[in-house]
Structure 1
Amino acid sequence: MIDQLDHLVLTTIDPVAAEDFYVRVLGMQLQTFAGGRKAFKYGQQKINLHVRGQEFEPKAHLPVPGALDLCFIASVPLEQVIAHLLQVNWPIIEGPVARTGATGPIRSVYLRDPDLNLIEIAERV
């Protein structure tokens, strides 16, 4: 019945820091839509941004910053991802390590966004 994820909503304390991370560090495209809302677009998906205390309705029952654990598949080899993270001075907290993704084995690094969400960036093995 379900084919793919279209978007998810990230709640942030600091929208400027979130935009810097998802655009400059992860290379997503900033998208502004309906009423000045912001999203980070990548591939055929996007992350809609909500600011804590200013969420749009309807919203999650308990929208809180720092509660997400997200895994992204990179469009470039993981070594290029690591080099980019070093270049922009963003700390890797673990990896590279072998993991199991939705479609099979992956090799991943872990970092945190400004709200302390856990971000995994992986390549398929």
Structure 2
Amino acid sequence: MSPSVASLDHLVLTVADIAASVDFYETVLGMRAERFQPAEGPPRWALKFGNQKINLHEAGAEFRPHAAHPGPGTGDLCFLTETPVAAWQAHLAAHGVAIEEGPVRRTGATGPILSLYLRDPDGTLIEVSNAL
């Protein structure tokens, strides 16, 4: 039997400003920021949600090893939510976050989804979706 992966544990976003990113992801997307001490090197920041996390690297001070071409705004992430898209529209408006597109129907990893598209402070494309 060939090896295969089972799930995503974490991903890394390179950001221009850790504090601005933490504020956005906590305030707008409801994630929880956590400072952690890796096995090697200085303390780092992560954004936790569900059973996953996003590690943050500050542009120009990335932790090794890192992507071949790290940079702020290069991500495209889709997050599933049980909160209705209409409630997200109101929440985003209240925080002055522009919706770039949506609601629109898309295809997610497990089937149809209804999505809103927005951007984080670095321009990373964020998709917030309900499973249909």
TM-score, normalised via structure 2 length: 0.91
- Residue 86, structure 1, aligned to residue 93, structure 2: yes
Q: How many residues align?
A: 125
CA distance in 1, matches of 2:97, 2:81: 16
Q: Which amino acid aligns with 1:71?
A: C
Runs (5+) with no aligned partner, structure 1: none
The yes-or-no answer on 1:104 pairing with 2:111 is: yes
SS at structure 2 position matched to 1:85: helix
Which structure 2 segments of 5+ residues have no match?
A: none
Q: Quick check: which has more Rg, 1 or 2?
A: 2
CA distance in 1, matches of 2:126, 2:114: 13
Amino acid of the structure 1 residue aligned with 2:131: R
Structure 1 residue 117 displacement after superposition = 0.6
When the two chains are superposed, the root-mean-square deviation of aligned CA atoms in Å is 0.9
- Does residue 11 of structure 2 align to residue 8 of structure 1? yes
Are the aligned partners of 1:74 and 1:81 in contact in 2 as well (CA < 8 Å)?
A: no
- TM-score, normalisation: structure 1: 0.96
Q: Runs (4+) of structure 1 moved beyond 2 Å?
A: none
**Alpha-carbon displacement from aligned partner over 1:26-68 (angstroms, at most 9, x marks no partner):** 1100111013200000000000000011111111111111111
Aligned to 1:20, the other structure's residue is in SS state helix
Inter-partner Cα distance in structure 2 for 1:55 and 1:64: 10
Aligned pairs (5 A) from 1:4-83: 4-34=7-37, 35-83=42-90
Letter of the 2:24 partner, please give it.
F
